[in-house]
Amino acid sequence: MLSIVSTPIGNLGDITHRAIETLKKCDAIVCEDTRVTGQLLQHLNIGKKELISFHGNTDPGKADVIVNHLKSGRHLVLVSDAGTPGISDPGYAVISRAAAAGIPIEVIPGAAAFLAALSGSGLPINQFVYLGFLPLKKGRKTLIESFKNEERTIVLYESVHRIERTLMEIAEALKDQPDRPVVIARELTKMHEEFVRTTVGQLATVASEITKKGEFVVVIGPA
C-alpha cells in the first residue's frame, strides 16, 4: 500500500494526527530531501525509519524500484519536503506508476500552499485555475498573455529568484485591466506570513518593493 501524506508548509503544528500515525506505522518513507524529512521525524519523536530519496533529479526509473517495493507487500509513505505530494513536486511520478501497477493508494490530506493562499486571498474561489510554476521559456509569454481572458481566479507558484520578474511581466501583459485584483501570499503559516493585496495597476511598484525573501504564491482575480 502507498500512503500519500501531506506535511506542513512551514508551521509544524499543521501536521495531522493521521499523518503522524501513518508515518509511525509504515515500513519506509519515500521523500525528496532526506534531511528535511529526517528533521520532521525528529520533531515528531518518530524513531529511525528507512528513508528512500526521490527528488527532481532522480532517475525516473527509480519510481519503478519503489513500485517493486510496494509489490513485495511493503507499506510505503510518500511525502514531499512540504505540502501535498505531487503538487508541483516530483511525487507525481511515483503516484502515477503505483496507480498504473494497481497498488492500493490512500491519501492523508493536509496543507498545500495554493489552497492556503486561495482561501486567504479574499478573491472568488468557487472556480480557479492552478498553474504551478510558469514555464521559464517556451510558452511563457503566450501563457501570461492568456490571463487577459481568464474568467476564473488564477493561482501560481513562484520562487524568490523570479518573483519580481514574474510580477513585472503580469503587470505588462494585463496593463489594460488596471483594477484587476492581485494577491501575493508570502511565507504562509510562518512567522512572517503576509498577504499583499493589490491591483494590476499597482503591481510594478509592488514588485520592486516586495520583500524578496521566502516563498510566494500569486493569486490573480478573474478577468
Here the cell at position 108 is 492523508
Least Å distance, CB 191 to ligand SAM, is: 11
CB 22 within 8 A of CB 77: yes
Beta carbons of 29 and 37 less than 8 angstroms apart: yes
Decide whether 27 or 194 has the Cβ nearer to ligand SAM.
Answer: 194
Rule CB under 6 A: say whether 112 interacts with ligand SAM.
yes
Q: Is 37 in the site for ligand SAM (CB under 6 A)?
A: no
Beta carbons within 8 Å of 163's beta carbon, 6+ residues apart: 184, 207, 210, 212, 216, 218
Residue 39 makes contact with ligand SAM by CB under 6 A: no
For ligand SAM, which residue has the nearest CB?
Answer: 83
Of the candidate spans 62-70, 110-118, 119-127, 203-211, the one that interacts with ligand SAM by CB under 6 A turns out to be 110-118
User: Does residue number 8 form part of the binding site for ligand SAM (CB under 6 A)?
Assistant: no
Binding pattern to ligand SAM, positions 197-216, x when CB under 6 A? ------------------xx
**Nearer to ligand SAM among residue 80 and residue 153 (C-beta):** 80
Residue 113: which region, alpha, beta or left (left: phi > 0; alpha: psi -120 to 50)? alpha
Stretch that binds ligand SAM, among 46-54, 71-79, 107-115, 201-209 (CB under 6 A): 107-115
Half-sphere exposure of 60 (CA within 13 A, CB side): 5
Size of the site for ligand SAM (CB under 6 A): 23
Nearest residue to 154 via CA among 119, 178, 120, 118: 118
CA 197/CA 6 separation, integer angstroms = 28
